[in-house]
Amino acid sequence: MIDLSGKEAIVTGGGSGIGRGICAVLALAGARVLVTDVSIESAEETLKYCERLNNLTAAKIDVTDIASIEETVSRHVADRGKIDILVNNAGIVGSKDWWMRETPSNEDWLEVYEVNLRGMVKVSERVAKEFESQGSGKIVNIASISARQGSPDIPHYSTSKAAVVSWTQSHALKMAPHNVNVNAVCPGLIWTPIWEAIAKKRSEFAGSVEVDGLEGRQLFDHTVKSWIPLQREQTPEDIGNIVAFLVSDLAKNITGQSINVDGGRFTN
């Protein structure tokens, strides 16, 4: 087990799915985790999910709102004295009812950009001030394997995640003189609320993707078998495990990288 005892972590989008898995693994490794989400109720659900652990707290954050970011980060620093780890996981696939539209709307593009890319940048830039004064820090940005290859049904999402990969590289170079590592993780196929919505869209607009009449979880399982060489789905805890490694001292010489956790879907 990687030992993150004494480390202070902030995870955005920690209220469900991949974010919840990341929070659980970091807490199990000994870090004190601030679970943040635009929904405080969802963040508190993650605390219940990790009820056997007492090193998690919850807070609301809107990654599109600089005032919200400032309030949450400043309060954390005042309470805990430092930040060691930032995981930018908050992400969306579109605006309300996006899966009901065959072609992404202008609002889909704008909202995905504001959350997935600009939100990540805003939080990182605020936390970077703390890291620069400390002379240390770890940042992990959650991208997607959709950044590796375009997606005809969610092009706005895959484009935003490709931008996450590119910005990770740029930010790693900027932060390296301050002894800060910046990396990205590209998750594969994970059954989360986001993928459930993707399955709804692919079932509705079967012309864009071969679905063989399948829906929901059956469609997801079919996609895993079709796409993944290891023939098994990935889990939120799989992503938590690689994040824990990247924020540990074992990865002190890894920065500017984007690591696939996808069962072999992509090998570069």
CATH number at residue 78: 3.40.50.720
DSSP labels, 83-102: --EEEE----SSSTTGGG-S
- φ, ψ of residue 198 in degrees (nearest 5): -60, -40
49 included as an active-site residue: no
pLDDT at 205: 76
pLDDT in tens, 106-159: 999 999 999 999 999 999 999 999 999 999 999 999 999 999 988 888 999 999
Residue 7's alpha-carbon distances to 27, 30, 122, in angstroms, are 10, 8, 22
Is residue 241 in a domain? yes
**Total residue length of the chain:** 268
Is residue 128 in a domain? yes
pLDDT in tens, 205-225: 765 455 667 778 888 998 899
Q: Quote the longest CA-to-CA distance of the chain.
A: 56
pLDDT in tens, 76-113: 999 999 999 999 999 999 999 988 898 999 999 999 99
**Residue corresponding to tokens 């003189």:** 177
Q: Is 102 exposed, middle or buried (CB count within 10 Å of its CB: 0-12, 13-18, 19+)?
A: exposed
Instruction: State which residues form the domain around 23.
Output: 8-189+235-261
Residue 216's alpha-carbon distances to 17, 103, 140, 220, 243, in angstroms, are 16, 20, 30, 6, 28
Is residue 70 in a domain? yes
Distance CA 207, CA 102 (A): 10
Indicate the number of domains in the chain: 1
Output the CA torsion sign for 215, 216, 217, 220.
Answer: positive
Considering the candidates 98, 157, 167, 220, report the single residue annotated as catalytic. 157
Is residue 213 in a domain? no
In this structure, are residues 187 and 137 in contact, taking their beta carbons and an 8 Å threshold?
no
pTM: 0.95
Distance CA 237, CA 18 (A): 7
Is residue 224 in a domain? no
Is residue 36 in a domain? yes
Is residue 217 in a domain? no
